[in-house]
Amino acid sequence: MKNAAVLSNQVIADAYTGCYDLIFRYIYNKNNRERAEDLTQDTFLRLLSYRDMFYLNIDTIKYFVYTIARNLVTDYLRRYYKEQEINAYLLETVRTSVDDVENKLYAKELSWLEQEKLSRLPSQRRKVYAMNRFQYKTAFEISTELHISPRTVENHLLISRKEIRTYIKQSI
């Protein structure tokens, strides 16, 4: 039994010295240098967990080491790309929520500027604009309610929209 343990340690040591460079280059083709070094070490650490199987010759172990390395690289790349996908999703979610907050602040500022300029308009023009903009009344409904012609309502709307638009553009 003790003899088998010594033999398996020797087989692993021989595999390490004989295959390290080959395994490193195999992994390095798929990763950066630091990651390749880590995965190569992990390959031989994983090989240690199969110590009881090493009654086989060095060629068989060489193929086994390649299989371990391939599986570790595959697992690593799968995790890496999944992590990238999750990070991209989180970044997009954060960006969207930041955009939503910015859009709400921008809309609030525009609304405030609109209200400020609206308060400075002449009384009749202010009423016509407010009824159209906030109460969603048509020019005909406003003209009926205020007892003025629809053409006058349209004229008030045209002038008030132009003044408010100009004020907002100057303020931004």
The per-residue pLDDT string of the chain (172 residues; one tens digit each, 9 = 90 and over) reads 455 555 567 777 888 888 899 999 998 888 788 999 999 999 988 888 877 765 556 667 888 889 999 999 999 988 888 888 887 877 777 666 667 777 788 888 888 999 999 999 999 999 999 999 989 899 999 999 999 999 999 999 999 999 998 998 888 7
Tell me how far the alpha carbon of residue 113 is from its chain's centroid.
34
pTM over 0.75: no
**Spacing of C-alpha 82 from chain mean position:** 12
pLDDT of residue 71: 92
The predicted structure's pLDDT at residue 172: 76
CA angle 7, 39, 10 (to 5 degrees): 10
- Distance between CA atoms of residues 66 and 130, nearest Å: 76
Are the beta carbons of 3 and 55 closer than 8 angstroms?
A: no
Q: Which two tokens stand for residue 144?
A: 């009926």
Which backbone phi and psi does 148 adopt, to 5 degrees?
-130, 165
Which candidate, 7, 45, 50, 52, places its Cα nearest to that of 23?
A: 45
> Looking at residue 1, what is its pLDDT?
46
The token duo for 123 is 């009384």
